[in-house]
Structure 1
């Protein structure tokens, strides 16, 4: 094991009640209405956590998400309360002694009830979108123009949702499937918000000569009724 591997965080150790270890993030109970999300350096591919971590990966994911969420002020509401280490300690003094274990890789967020739909937006025919188009001529069950080539830009970004599986693989579903799951009003809100965030991201990355081919978002219901953008946003883990 190299020195950099030894510095990688495979599992966070925080003096708060652990609620869940996901593929990359460890989620802790941070008090009434709050969670502490700690991004580890774990690498997940095809629903498998690999043995080789990437040192400081969790810091990169967290800081990118915080930057994007700050840029989205005025576009939509989100769950982030703070990712500033000193501010989090001011809010939760019991974390002071363990700050090196979670600093720069943690977000203090509102606790929400997650919507069990992965809100994928695709601007290009890449990845599984190309596979579906090549075999069916469709994307998310909707027909596309003939003659597209792999990774070609779409005439307009397309909302391409999937179910959010608790175990196993997510399954792509048409928009009508989201309506069946959640009702017309909420399905429309998820689609419209997802497209708005994608457009914001694609416009911003274009300024830096980066193409945002596709990405996924997650949303959750706050107890006060707001629909919040949650989890990571426009990171290398969630985007192509």
Structure 2
């Protein structure tokens, strides 16, 4: 259901966080980032104020940083006043049904898989790693995109290529790792470790691979304080704080079909603070709100 029905535009798709609206030009879409937040495949009942603005403004900044490396779907940030700051006019693309994930550090679902098998998405890793270990070489670990409410499924590179073709699979892998390499260096120069990131790509009619959706935000990436990491602590500027509260402190049992509980005001405030900190630390400027 649309949160921005007053725009007077046809709603094409409402995802966990973003809404897509049709524009008069058939080659263009209005992409709006809401303040919704998702965790463990649930969209939570509680929103995070200004989150959509952070996602959009940080994505715009990253598109500039990645200029010349790969085309992106941004056409303009000149959008209706009702969604100013949280929306972009973007190209309509044939989206590749793969979450393209680059991991430079072992954590999250990759850490769980490594503990069980010594591998992540079929990629064998050295013995003796721990949660937060830096990988000698970043790895590409694709996931199959699921429908809203379902789980994205980690798959091997070979499985991905069987589904989308070897040529496109190789292009996806190479683009993902190139973007991660540049972004990881930029973040490290600012005292931030980019542990991993999830990217989405689409194809133009001529076959050009284009970076789409959002890019390198606290929703789609793990950001850690570099100094704290060097001391063995994973101090995050992303939604891991919220995930940790849900599974360790809220009393919610994620193995059941019961939706997560509402977020207390202090969890909302601290999550919002982490998103704003990520923006400020990376871009070097404060985000203008309200």
Mark yes or no: TM-score above 0.5: yes
Mapped partners of 1:128, 1:184: distance in 2: 25
Q: What is the RMSD of the two structures over their aligned residues, measured on CA atoms?
A: 1.2
Moved runs in structure 1, 4+ residues, more than 4 A? none
Partner of 2:221: helix, strand, or coil? coil
Is 2:7 aligned against 1:11? no
Matched with 1:6 is none
Alpha-carbon distance in 2 for matches of 1:140, 1:114: 22
The separation in 1 between residues aligned to 2:42 and 2:120, in whole angstroms, is 26
Q: TM-score, structure 1 length as denominator?
A: 0.88
Alpha-carbon distance, 1:209 to partner: 0.6
Give SS of 1:212's match: strand
Is residue 182 of structure 2 the alignment partner of residue 200 of structure 1?
yes
Q: CA deviation at 1:12?
A: 2.3
Secondary structure of 1:213 counterpart: strand
Deviations 1:111-150 (A, max 9, x none): 0011001000101110011101101000111211111111
How many residues are aligned here? 218
Q: Is the 8 A contact 1:12 1:40 kept in 2?
A: no
Shift of 1:228: 0.5
- The residue aligned with 2:191 is 209
Counterpart-to-counterpart distance in 1, 2:95 and 2:75: 17
TM-score normalised to the size of structure 2?
Answer: 0.73
> Aligned ranges for residues 1-240 of structure 1 at < 5 Å?
11-13=3-5, 14-30=7-23, 31-83=25-77, 85=78, 88=79, 95=80, 99=81, 101-167=82-148, 168-240=150-222
Q: Give the Cα–Cα distance (whole angstroms) in 2 for the partners of residues 224 and 133 of structure 1.
A: 39
Structure 2 gaps, min length 5:
223-290
Distance 1:225 1:120 in 2: 21
Deviations 1:143-202 (A, max 9, x none): 111111111000110001010112400111110011101111111100000000001110
What is the rounded CA distance, in whole Å, between the counterparts of 1:194 and 1:51 in structure 2? 32
- Separation of aligned partners in 1, 2:204 and 2:60: 19
Hey, what's the Cα distance between the residues in 2 that align with 1:38 and 1:163? 24
1:224 Cα deviation after fit: 2.9
What is the deviation of 1:221? 0.9
Residue aligning to 1:91: none
